[in-house]
A and B are shown apart, each in its own frame.
Chain A
């Protein structure tokens, strides 16, 4: 998903750089509410996990691969504002040191993965988890919400790229075809993203539910009460 230099023209890249700068500036202020002595170490770890996971491309068939984007995972674990900052650190290191994603495209990549990916995923997570928590326990509701949020976030980022390409793409292509291709491929990648996200979130919920930002609003499951009926 890392956009290289040259795919988008300069005005569009400047536009996404402005959006990314604004979002990161806002996140720097808002993330303070999400971070304290207990959650700050987890935030560093989440960024590191996203960086590590983005090294692992998995095949999705037809000679194509994908990797975790991680925006939804980060948002559910440490909160959406902190997630934007985590993704920005990862994308910055990748662009500056590994030439993964362009330099003029850094604002584009932060916008696509650190803003759209995070917030689409977090928004869907909140909606799905709110509904699911009425019929399922906390762990399941949060894991299912995170998983479905992650699926949507990858498709959302892919379609956001199509929108940017429509505004300032390098060469004209049929936009409906581009949108269908991007949504199709990233729907498949999104399924894997959803599975990984749900798996990681539920394994942390199993040991330290108090550290999962997205689980805090839901009541802890009642302790099992064994009732002797006979």
Chain B
């Protein structure tokens, strides 16, 4: 992966900005209501079978969100870069 240059760089930076706004700002206004599956599970009497876990990071914590965004960005970019590089050159 060449670091996005030229016209693509602007789109990449704008996209990253959009991700940070969505994760950092919009997520504060997220609905606390159960999501579709949780709601249906409650109504159908399945919800009690869910095993509750506590994560290392919390989506309620801004630092956790930022770390999550960074981890996804780096791991997905590295994966895509390594596959893209191999895709454009002969094996080996």
Contact = CB atoms under 8 A, between A and B. Distances in A.
A160 to B, nearest CB: 12
Contacts, number: 223
Contacts of B53: 4-5, 99, 102-103
Interface in A1-35: 1-7, 28, 31-35
A35 B51 CA distance: 38
A41 interface: yes
B12 A4 contact: no
**B: contact size bracket:** 35 or more
Per DSSP, are chain A's interface residues mostly helix, strand or loop, or mixed?
helix
A41 B79 contact: no
B68 A51 contact: yes
14 contacts: A1-B37, A3-B37, A5-B53, A35-B87, A37-B84, A39-B80, A43-B76, A44-B76, A53-B22, A58-B31, A89-B79, A100-B55, A185-B36, A207-B11
Interface of B: 1-4, 7-8, 11-12, 15-16, 18-20, 22-23, 26-27, 29-37, 39-41, 43-46, 49-59, 64-65, 68-69, 71-81, 83-88
Interface of A: 1-7, 28, 31-49, 51-53, 55-60, 62-67, 82, 85-86, 89-90, 93-94, 96-100, 102-103, 158, 161, 165, 169-171, 173, 177-178, 181-182, 185-186, 188-189, 204, 207-208, 211
